[in-house]
Structures are given as structure tokens and as C-alpha cells.
Structure 1
Amino acid sequence: MSDSAIAMQPPRPAPARSDRPWRIGSAILVLLALAPIGGLAFFASRGSGELWPHLIANVLPVAARTTALLLLGVGILVTVLGIGTAWLVTAYRFPGRRLFEWALLLPLSVPSYVMAFAYLDVVHPVGPLQTGLRHLFGIADPRGLRFPEIRSLGGAILLLGLILYPYVYLPVRALFVMQSASLLEASRTLGAGRFRAFRTVALPLARPAVAVGVSLALMEALNDIGASEFLGVRTLTVAIYTTWVTRSSIEGAAQIALVMLAIVFALGLLERLGRRGMNYSAPRGNAQPMAQPLSGGAALLAVVACALPILLGFIVPASYLVVSAARRIALGGLPADLWIWTGNSVLFAAIAAALTIAIGLFLATAGRMSRRKSLHGMIRLAGIGYAIPGTVLAVGLLVPIAGLDNWIANAVKGVWGRSPGLILMSSGAALVLAYCLRFQAITIGGIESGFSRISPSIDMAARSLGAGTARLSGGIHMPLLSPAIAAAGLLVFVDCMKELPATLLLRPFNFETLATYVYGEAARGTYEDGAIAALVIVFAGMLPVALLARAGTRERRRPLA
């Protein structure tokens, strides 16, 4: 048998006895991932039903309709922006194209609540935009220039779409780059114009990437709480938060969360249906897409189309934050507790990233070592938290965390004679657990991607030389997986620093992170005071953007086979 044939064979399945620890450990992690759903069902079933008629009559219809319209609008906007910009930078050559390839990812670094935080002040009647326009046109009356209201459903759709379109742009551009140029050339020789070739050949082949990107963007829109609340949009997420915090009804919040969870699963089903039957393979030797040069008006339109999302989605909010932060520092210096908030954010994000890497490494290695379908199914379930919005996750975690907290307190009291209180909630362990469950899928997917680049023949050779599982993992897999582990850990770290809904609901008392501080200042309307913390979050968010841009450049420069 040839070496290439051996390299394509999967590793030999481990004996049933040897993969038992992997199965037991994976089952425990799956139960932990499913615990929030059980907690939701528990709280929802304990509701007396007194609040439910009010929810049905006044809360759920409005929140569900608003959420559906928000998802529809965001879905359309991210699809148009993501596919359009991906096709422009792939199929055409125009000034600044290389810059736009990675700069179109920059809006990913701006959290939604920071975007709303910035635009609420930028487009305010006495804000810099309207003030500058009135000065330009000689209008003295602040009411003489009518601007569209940003505090509206349309404003939320626009801002969330500007932030989330990179979720579509990134996978769609990757598939456009991989598509064989001969397919488009064949369609051109048959008389199809460039638009028709795009519509009938390139776009259908990119449907799996579109389905994945749009579903991720919609789940992030569904998870949003800061931007929606700032803009006065009462979504299901906001309804859960206000029912819990304002009405002090955890049961009502759990009942709304179950409705929201059904929407999440429906989005996942739509994503699966969108990718069904759409697998294909293109030869790498022909995967060199042809880029047609543009000039004149066409080139100008392409530049404007690519620059506008970057301008509105990154440059405007980032510039506002820089100016406001500089003004705040000039007037009063840095906030006294800035380093405490930053330290809290970094510490909890680092702990969560380390734990998710350890869990992701265990699960991905379990999938590598065993070929049992049941085990691979459990690995998929372990990452289900990424599909659960932060507010829903926080509500569902209260039951298992409270139960474990009470058990620990009773055990300690039985030994030492006094109760230590709620250790998990007061120490922030509950928040770290929420971070781990929320972003576990990132490390699982990233490490599995790294494993896919390690030939199974390496495992076979090591086994034949007597290497056990520990030596194989520590001496061979870990060094080869280090880039994938570092990338996944960085993504989780930054996502934890930006996470707002779960942090608001599960943080210890008198505990502030950068995200919660920005949220509090925006809620009070003191935008300049929160600008410095918001700017720190944006700078942190630029780290994964730089990583993704570097990965895309390395992939583009890789020689074709």
C-alpha cells in the first residue's frame, strides 16, 4: 500500500477498555453542558403561573415580534454585506483591495454594546455629527436638522448588522478563494456574464458557508442585551433580564428563556438544512480564482462598497472612543478603578480560557483516540453552550450552582461548625463556569482543526514504537497542536472579556469588569466616563482580528499542490 493511502486511513480504533476513560470523562462534560437546560426546565416548572398570563398578554407577543423582525433585518443585512464584500475582494482587482481583505474584519473587534454606546452620542442632536452638519449648512436651530432616530428597531438592525457581517464575510470569502477558476471560465464560455456566473455558479457553491455565517450572526444578535436595551428595543433577551432583575421573577425569566431556546434550536436546524447535500470538493491545483481588474467608476464603486462597512462599523466608533477617552483623561485623568476593572476582566477571562483549552484538548483527543460514533456525538453536545445566549445560560445555571453551593456549605458546616456561604457565586466560579460553557465550542473546533492537519500515520508510527497515550499526546500532539491551541485560547479570552449578559447576571456583588462598567456608564448617559474602558475592550478585540487576518494571508500565500 502506498504512503499516501496509508496517510488517508483513520487511526486504528482503540480497544473498548482503553477508551473507557475518554467516554466517562466526555459523558461528565456533556452532563455539565446540559445542566443549564435542566435548570431552565426546573425553574419554569416551579412557576406559579400568576405571571404567565401577564407575559402572554403584554411581554411575549411584543418581545417575540421584535426579536423576529430584528433577526430578519440583521440576517438580510449581514448576508448582503458579507457576500457582497467577499465577492468584490475575491473576484476583482481595485485600489486598496489587499487592505480591504483584512480590514473588513475590524468591526468584529467592537462589541455591540460599545457600538451602541458610541453611536448614541455621535448621532445625538448635540453630538459631533449633527453639530458638524448644522455648522456646515449654517443651521442654528438644533431641531432644524432632522436625523433618523437611532433609538429604534431600524437603528438596532443597522448597528448589529455592521458588527456581525464578518461572520458571513470570513467563511464565504474562504469558499470563494477555494472555488475552481475553471468552473467560472466554463460558465463564461457558455455565454454567462459575470453577474450570472456569480449568481448561478459561485453563490450556490458558497451556500454552506452562507448558512453557517448567517446562523452564527443571528445567534450573536439573539445574545445581545446591551445594544438592544440602549436603543430601546425590547427583545426576548431584554425581557429575560428585566423579568429576572426588575420583577424579581426567576421563574418567569426561565419560561421566557425556554421560548428563546426554542428559537435558537430552530436557527440551528435552519443552518443544518442550508448545508444539507452541499458538500463538494475542488482540486487545489485549480483553486486560483481569476480577479478582473476594475477601473474608473467601477473601481470607485468597489472601493466605496468595501470602505463603507469599515467606516461605519469600526472607524466611527473607534474614533469617537479615542477622542472621548482623550478628553476624559485631560479633564480628570484615568478612572481610579480602571486597573481593578481591567484586572478583573483579564483574570476571569484567562482562567476561563485555560479551562476551556484543557476541556477542549481532552474532548478533541478523545475523538482522535476513539472511533465510536456515540463518543463523537457527545463531543458535539459538549459544545452546545455556544448556541445558548448568555442570559439563558445564566438563568439555567442557577439551579445546579445553587445546589452545589448548598451541598458544599452543608459539608463544611458539618466539619467546621459554621457555614462559608455561597462559595461558587461569591467567588466568581459561577461566572467562570458560564464562560467555559458558552465558549467551549471554540476550543473544541479549533483543536479538532489542528488534529486534522496531523496525519494519522504519525499516531500509527508512534504506537508501533511503543508510545502510550500519554507520551503520544504530550510528546507529539501537543507540540504540533500549539498554534491551534494558542489561537483558540486567544479567541476565548477576548470573547470572555467582551461577554456582557452572563457577566451582568452571574458576577459577584460589588464586582465590576470592563464590560459591566461600560454598560453602567451608558445606562447613566455618562458616555465620556466609559470611553476609556470601552477603548480597552476594542483594543483587546483587535487581537483575534489580527490573528484571523494573518491566518488568511498565510493561507493565500501557501503554494498550491
Structure 2
Amino acid sequence: MRLITVLTLLLALPVLGVLASWGAVDSGSHEVLWHQLVTVLPGYAWTSFVLSAWVAAGVAVVGGTTAAAVSLFDFPGRRFFSWALLLPLAMPAYVMAYAYTDFLQYSGPLQSALRELTGAQGAVLPDVRSLGGAVPMFIFCLYPYAYLLTRAALSERGVHLMEAARLLGAGTARRVRQVALPLARPALAAGVALALMETLADYGVGSYFGLTTFTTGIYKAWLSMDDRVAAAQLATVLLAVVALLLWFEHRAQKRLRFATARSGGSSSQESRPVRLNGRQAVLACAWCALPVLLGFVLPVLVLLRLLWLEVQHGEFGVPWARFAVWAWSSFKLAGLAALLAALLALALAFALRLKPRPELRLAARVASLGYAVPGAVISVGILLPAGWLQSVWPASGAAALVTGTVFGLMYAYLVRFSAVALQSVEAGYARIPATLDESARMLGSSRWRLLRTVHLPLLRRSAFAAALLVFVDVMKELPATYVLRPFNSDTLAVVAYQLAKDERLGEAALPSLAIVLVGLLPVLLLSRAMRDR
């Protein structure tokens, strides 16, 4: 038990390493901090605030309204949109940025067609590689967070309460305004908070579009300016903002737990979603189709077009042998991280099942915080202690271990994604009655035998889902992989970013499509689970 506690508390070391960097602040560091405060920090803060504000508003509108449409109303295509609205989860924001850059840039197909139609000479559309262009990328990639939580809240209680309000004489607009919106507000707030954490943790879109956000500033201070103190200070500011969002998300999640009375038997005809006809049905169908088209269908078509043009013109610059190496590297790292995260989650959940001691609860809470920590903060938090240990004990080889092997990457992946695996395994344990454990103990079963013969067979699906979610998250992860990857071991995400940064979008299409294809696996699993429910 103590070993499990120590292992999980080690997941907090990157965050502690960033915070501990303030203990080594001297007069020169104070000058660096003051220089940042009067030069770059206001720009980082303002850009991050404006980006977050627009993304929060867009995610709330798109995710909340689509969830209300498929939960409370019935219209043609409703069953299709109930799962299709999850498809943008498979599309990383940086991949969408590559696709839309090619589609909307000056030499892209859309502006070329508009110039032919209008006879214009200059640019017809504003530059997509800007703050205004990044906002819709994040909105259409991240709205499924709000959609999922809001739909779950409305599906369980919304239809019944809406029908009760109708029987009391309330019109449709009043029912939505006074029943559905207050009911969905906590879930919507939690989904928006999750989307904002992903936005602040992004590096691919911000770097590719040239945005001055906290994350891009951290990497610029570390990699370009070689200033560890500045990188740590920026990481601390970003960590404080993310901690505030995490607190807000937990508070919103707690408000989701309120009871609702349910009658026995199947739902009646009166508790079914409201049927829409005519123009209302067309508007609902069009509104649900818009985020699916802009968030998944159009980017995939653009990437397929780029790939086809490369092959057709004989300029396909990515050799299949090298692509196989990149794909194998990605699958190897993702598979190893998924296995380790699932094993750690099983061990911790089993320990909590047997003896939920305070130190184990603290360890589980610490492990759950990792998913909210941006990859930039994790990278800095791993490199800082490694550099300090290397300077104090040169023979340790800590720097070579972190940056020259897969140890640093695995460590970062476990810090970042163990919470995903733990949540899935704990959900599986919640479905196993405690009487099974008591019966096994009465029959003289040991702890290992209880886990092997009773728990593991019942947790097979939960453990597989945990490993799958971690696998896909690692395949898409860019910030930590970009910094901590060993030499000559590029992944699909890193290669796609480097090719797009070099304006070789046609060559970046193949690894980008591979990432999207792998990302479809948990989306299909999630849609099936929602359908079964």
C-alpha cells in the first residue's frame, strides 16, 4: 500500500518542481520577473484571456444548444446527430488548424474561387492564422465537452420536468428558459471549464498561428531564450489559472448531484421529447449539422484533398518507410503509456477498495489533478528537477535519462493521463457490490486471489476502456512529446506539427489523418455506451 501511495504522490513531482523553483529566486531572478511583468506577461495574459472568453462563450452556445436540441426535442436526424456531434472529439485542434489554413489561406481553394467570381485582386478573407481564426478552431473541437455533460443532465431529468411544466400551462419558450436552462447550468459550466483547460494547455494551434499565450511563452522562454527561471514563473502563473478552473469545474460537478423522482415502468407517451415540424425541424437539423460539418467533415475532406493532390502530382514527400517508423513510434509510446496507466489505476483503485486510508485518498486526489495540468507545465516540472539533480550529482545521468530515453515521456504521460484511467476503473468498481468481497474473504481468499479471480474479470471492460482512452490521448499529445521525446524518435503528432510549421501541409496530411483515425476509436466506444444507456 505504501508503495502505491509513493508512486501516485510522485505524479505530483512536476507541479512541486515548478513551485519549488520560486525558492531559488535571487536578485537576478527578480529582475527577470520584473522584466516579464512589464514586457511580455501583459501580452500573454491578455491574449489568453481574450481567447478563453470567446472559446467559453462559443462552447457554451454550441454545446448547450445542440445538447438541448437532441435531448428535449424530436426532429428528423435526431438519432444520427446524438452520436455524430461527438465526432469532433477525434479531431485535435492543431490538426483542424492545418486543414483550415490550407482551405482559407490566400492560395487556398476558397479564396481562389472567390477571386474568380468577384474579380478581386487581393485577399478576400482575413488571415486565418490569427487570434480570430484560432477561436472557432477551439470552439468546434471542444464543444463536445459541454455537449456530453449537458445532454446527460437533460436526458435524465429534462424531458420529465419539461412535460410537467407543459401540464402547468407553460409555453415552449418559457419551459426552455425557466426549466431546461437552470437544470443544465451546472453541467454546462463544468463542460466549459474542461474546454478552457484544454484551450490553455494547447501548444500546437498557438505556436502555428503565432499567438502569444502562456503556453507558447513557456516554450519560447525555455527553448528559444534558454531561461529556466522565466519558464518556471510563466508555468506557475498558468498553473494558478488552471487550478482556479479546476476548482470551478469541481464545484459545478457537485451541483449536478440532485435527485429526481422516477415512476416505475417505462416512460409514458407524455414524457417523450417534443416533436418539431416544419421550419423548426429544419432549423434544429441545420444547427446540429453545422458543428459536425465544420468540426469534423470539412477538415477531413480538406486533409484527404491535400493527400490526393500530393499523390496525383507525384510530389508525395513522405516515404512510406519513414511514415511506418513514425507510426510505430507513436503506437509503441501510446501502448506502453496505456498499459502503465491502466495498471497504476487498477492498483490504486484496488487499494482504495480494500482500505480507503487518508493517505491513499490523498494519493488518488493528486493523481486526478494531473489531467488538468498543461503539458507545458509538466515538461518544465520534469526538466527542472532533472537539471538540479544533474548539477548536484553529475554521475546520476538524470538529464540523459529524462531527455535521452523514453523515461521522461512515460513519466509525463502518466502525470497527464493517469486520471483518465483511474476514473474509468473507479466507475467499474462502483458496479461491483461489496458483498462479493465479503464472500471471498469468508471463503479464505487472499487479496491477490480476490483481485485475480473476482475483480479483474468484472473490470475487464473498464480496464480496456481506460487503456484505450489513454492510448488515444497519448497519440494526440503534442506539447510534452515535442520537448521530452528522445532523439530520432518522432511521433505522428510531432511530425505533423513540424511539417505544417514548414508550410508542407500536403505532407502533414497523412500523419494528421492517422491521428484522427485513431481518435475515432474512443468516440465510437462512447457513442455506443450512450446508446446502450
CA deviation string 1:349-382 (max 9, x = no partner): 1111111001111111111112334422321112
Number of the residue aligned with 2:400: 422
Q: 1:227 to 1:544 in 2, by over 3 A?
A: same
Aligned counterparts of 2:324 and 2:315: Cα–Cα separation in 1: 16
Give runs of aligned pairs for residues 131-530 of structure 1, distance below 5 A. Answer: 131-135=112-116, 138-143=117-122, 146-179=124-157, 181-283=159-261, 285=263, 288=267, 290-330=272-312, 331-333=314-316, 335-336=318-319, 337-402=322-387, 410=395, 422-530=400-508
Cα 1:420–1:385, aligned 2, differ >3 Å: closer, same or farther? closer
The count of corresponding residues between Structure 1 and Structure 2 is 523
Alpha-carbon offset, residue 408 of structure 1: 9.3
State the 1:405 CA deviation.
6.8
Structure 2 runs not aligned, ≥5 long = none
Q: Which moved more, 1:466-475 or 1:329-338?
A: 329-338
Instruction: Write the letter of the residue equivalent to 1:100.
Output: F
- 1:6 corresponding residue in structure 2: none
Name the CA distance, whole Å, in 1 between partners of 2:494 and 2:22: 27
- CA–CA distance in structure 2, aligned partners of residues 201 and 405 of structure 1: 60
- Secondary structure of the equivalent of 1:383? helix
SS in structure 2 of the partner of residue 234 of structure 1: coil
Report 1:85-164 matches (<5 A).
85-135=66-116, 138-143=117-122, 146-164=124-142
Q: CA separation of 1:142/1:38 partners in 2, compared to 1, >3 Å: closer, same or farther?
A: same
CA distance in 2, matches of 1:508, 1:408: 22
Are the aligned partners of 2:424 and 2:463 in contact in 1 as well (CA < 8 Å)? yes
Match 2:526 to one of 548, 551, 557: 548
Give the Cα–Cα distance (whole angstroms) in 1 for the partners of residues 302 and 121 of structure 2.
Answer: 21
The alignment partner of 1:454 has SS state of coil
Deviation at 1:278, TM superposition (A): 4.6
Matched-pair contact (CA < 8 Å) for 1:44–1:252: no
Check the 8 A contact 1:406/1:422 in 2, yes or no. no
Deviation at 1:277, TM superposition (A): 4.6
- Tell me the CA shift for residue 209 of structure 1: 2.0
SS of match in other structure, 1:379: helix
Please tell me whether the aligned partners of residues 310 and 506 of structure 2 are also in contact (alpha carbons under 8 angstroms).
yes
Instruction: Provide TM-score, normalisation by structure 2.
Output: 0.93
Instruction: Find the aligned partners of 2:192 and 2:438 in 1 and give their Cα distance.
Output: 40
Residues 152-199 of structure 1 show CA distances to partners (whole Å, capped at 9, x for unaligned) of 222211110110000111121112111164322221222222232223
Letter in 2 for 1:490: L
Any residues of structure 2 matched to 1:51-62 within 5 Å, and which? 51-62=32-43
Partner Cα separation in structure 2 for residue 439 and residue 207 of structure 1: 27
**Distance verdict in 2 for CA 1:371–1:41, change over 3 Å:** closer
Q: Confirm or deny: 8 A CA contact 1:405 1:422 kept in the other structure.
A: no
C-alpha distance in 2 between matches for 1:256 and 1:45: 15
**1:180 and 1:248, CA in 2 relative to 1: closer, same or farther beyond 3 A?**
closer
Q: Is the 8 A contact 1:401 1:430 kept in 2?
A: no
Question: Offset of 1:40 from its aligned partner?
Answer: 1.0
Displacement after TM superposition at 1:403 (Å): 5.9
Quote the offset at 1:92 in angstroms. 1.4
Residue 141 and residue 183 in structure 1: after superposition, are their counterparts in 2 closer, same or farther (change >3 A)? closer
Distance change (3 Å), C-alpha of 1:306 and 1:277: closer
Q: Which moved more, 1:538-547 or 1:323-332?
A: 323-332
The Cα of 1:148 is off from its aligned counterpart by: 3.2
Q: Deviations over 1:179-226 (max 9, x none)?
A: 164322221222222232223223323333223211111110011111
Structure 1 residues without counterparts, runs of 5 or longer: 1-20, 412-418, 556-561
Contact 2:9–2:363 (Cα < 8 Å) also in 1:
no
Kept in 2: contact 1:33–1:384 (CA 8 A) = no
1:104-141 alpha-carbon deviations (Å, 9 max, x no partner):
01111111111111111110122011223334xx2333
Residue identity over aligned pairs, in percent, reads: 40
Q: TM-score, normalised by structure 1?
A: 0.89
- How far apart in 1 are the matches of 2:106 and 2:326? 32
Q: Please name the residue that 1:7 is paired with.
A: none
